[in-house]
Amino acid sequence: MTTYDLGEAATLLRSGEMKLIELDDDQSVVLARRDDTYYAFGSQCTHYGGPLEQGVLNGHTVICPWHHACFDIRTGVRQEPPALDPVTSYPVTVEGGRVWLQLEPAEPAAMASIADDETYIIVGGGAAGEAAAEELRRAGFAGKIILLSAAATPPVDRPNLSKQYMAGEADPDWIPLRSKAWYAEHDIDLRLETPVTSVDTAAHTVTTDNDVLQYHKLLLATGSHPRVLSNVPGIDLDDIFTLRHQADADRIIARVDENTRVVIVGGSFIGMEVAASLGQRGASVTVVDVVSAPFEPILGADVGRFWQRLHESNGVTFRLDTSVARFHEDNGRVSAVELEDGTRLMADLVVLGVGVTPATDFLSSSDIAINPDDQSVRVDHHLHTSAADVYAAGDIARYPLANGDTQRIEHWRVAQQHGMIAARNMLGQLDTVTAHVPFFWTAQWGTRMRYVGFAAGWDNIVYRGDVEKGKFIAFYLKDGQLQAAAGVGHDAEMAALEFVLQHNLALTTQEMQNADFDLVRHVSTG
């Protein structure tokens, strides 16, 4: 066992600080101090290898600055996705006033076995379903887990499909979250190409095309279907695509070269990411949207115009404040997109990014309460549905807020959070949706934005930095309360803001605007 003398305990770090420690053989760890105790853990986030020493420490939780995975610095345990695995924890002692590191991984705590005679069924092989299956095993559930997926492949890293994968920068081997072998090793019965056709909550059964399965607890996590412009003439032509699965991405990629004319209908995050990715491949790209600036309903006009300028500087054309009237054909394939003013945009292929709808058709004959406005599943703070022993998570789940409203969020990390929360509640551990902060990220033309919280609406946006110069934080407020924030070029501050929202830490308007106010220090001293 190798032991390292890291320095004087009294002066090496202050409480709430972290430091990267370079060791022999190109190894490194992060050393952190909380009060008078030192901790050491692996330096790279287990999601995409983000530098944890550049993240934020709050209490005993460190958050990755890239995609906001969280880990317990005492044990290395993963607390928040999108990371799936823990970081390694290393023993640290203070002797003779000095800090000593033992470069031998600490042993993980043993987990008690839970409910080994029960069957839990998870319907949906997306982010929420996969996360729930993992969390059940991580929490010690020893019973049978059946994961039913309509997809042909194991759960994939869907955010990558419109980003690096679409741009040709990610190997196909990156895309599966886990291998088929991993599910077998953890005794998770993964059944692909197995859509569920109905649920009988009284009998505690789910029906597929080939089977009727009995459950003790059931999680519904079927995600969403991409919307299509069903009323627009020509929508059924070839080379009009939506993007949801890896096979969708592969079909789009196969049709694109440097001379391809692409029309993106809808300036959603998927649409804009596909625009950037296909533009990087050399395609000629036009984005069509009904709004006056991309992302205006979500981020506001100023931030939306920032993204528009970035795309335009890379050759993307926009047709805004308009909609599609029809798709024209040539031998059964799309050849042009006609706008409402009669303008025709020549197109070799079209990608639709006009939103999604909850995939809940299979529940039409069940007694599970459905929201009539969008066909989402009504749940409580624990993601429990109106039916005994049935939970819902991810895109389909509509849950209550403190003010009496309800909300449904279509974010990848939120779906993963929901999977964890539902699994814990299925085991009686009583986790709540409101204890977790929503987060998503986007990457377009090499520029990355982080968004924490959720603002269905706002009455004021406070800015730090300069939106036009592409380094800013936008704070979204409602009735003077911070609802969410979006930032470019401020990764550590955005990580700190997740803790601000999680713990309801006070921030004045002046502190939001003042670049000299240290948001990281504001949350790391607690």
Q: What is the pLDDT of residue 403?
A: 80
Q: Do 458 and 423 have their domain in common?
A: no
Please indicate, yes or no, if residue 441 is contained in any of the structural domains.
no
- Averaged pLDDT, 193-212: 97
Q: Do 212 and 130 have their domain in common?
A: yes
**Is a pLDDT exceeding 80 seen at residue 108?**
no
Q: Do 361 and 218 have their domain in common?
A: yes
The tens digit of pLDDT for each residue in 325-380 reads: 999 999 999 999 999 999 999 999 999 999 999 999 999 999 999 999 999 999 99
Please indicate, yes or no, if residue 113 is contained in any of the structural domains.
no
Please indicate, yes or no, if residue 350 is contained in any of the structural domains.
yes
- Averaged pLDDT, 210-229: 97
The tens digit of pLDDT for each residue in 418-427 reads: 999 999 999 9
Please indicate, yes or no, if residue 108 is contained in any of the structural domains.
no
What's the number of domains the chain is made of? 4
**Is a pLDDT exceeding 90 seen at residue 55?**
yes
Q: Do 136 and 47 have their domain in common?
A: no
Q: What is the pLDDT of residue 107?
A: 76
Q: Residue 493's closest CA among 459, 455, 461, 451?
A: 451
Q: What is the DSSP string of 14-38?
A: -TT-EEEEE-GGG-EEEEEEETTEE
**Is a pLDDT exceeding 90 seen at residue 104?**
no
Q: What is the CATH number of the domain that holds 68?
A: 2.102.10.10
**Is a pLDDT exceeding 60 seen at residue 152?**
yes
Q: Percentage of the chain with pLDDT > 70?
A: 99
Q: What is the pLDDT of residue 26?
A: 83
Last residue of a domain, one of 36, 71, 102: 102
Please indicate, yes or no, if residue 134 is contained in any of the structural domains.
yes
Q: Do 59 and 127 have their domain in common?
A: no
Query: 51 is written with which tokens?
Result: 């530098």
Q: Do 245 and 340 have their domain in common?
A: yes
**Is a pLDDT exceeding 90 seen at residue 77?**
yes
Map tokens 């730090």 to a residue. Answer: 464
Domain enclosing residue 453, as ranges: 446-524
- Going by pLDDT thresholds of 50, 70 and 90, the confidence category of residue 526 is low
The tens digit of pLDDT for each residue in 460-491 reads: 999 999 999 999 999 999 999 999 999 999 99
Question: Between residues 125 and 103, which one has the greater pLDDT?
Answer: 125
172 phi-psi bin (left φ>0, alpha ψ -120 to 50, beta other): alpha
Please indicate, yes or no, if residue 215 is contained in any of the structural domains.
yes
Last residue of a domain, one of 354, 375, 400: 354
Last residue of a domain, one of 72, 102, 132: 102
Q: Output the average pLDDT for the chain.
A: 95
Q: What is the CATH number of the domain that holds 481?
A: 3.30.390.30
Map tokens 């009539």 to a residue. Answer: 372
- Averaged pLDDT, 91-109: 89
Query: 195 is written with which tokens?
Result: 């859509």
- Please give the distance of CA 24 from its chain centroid, rounded to a whole number: 35
Q: What is the CATH number of the domain that holds 215?
A: 3.50.50.60
The tens digit of pLDDT for each residue in 298-330 reads: 999 999 999 999 999 999 999 999 999 999 999
**Is a pLDDT exceeding 90 seen at residue 417?**
yes
Q: What is the pLDDT of residue 25?
A: 76
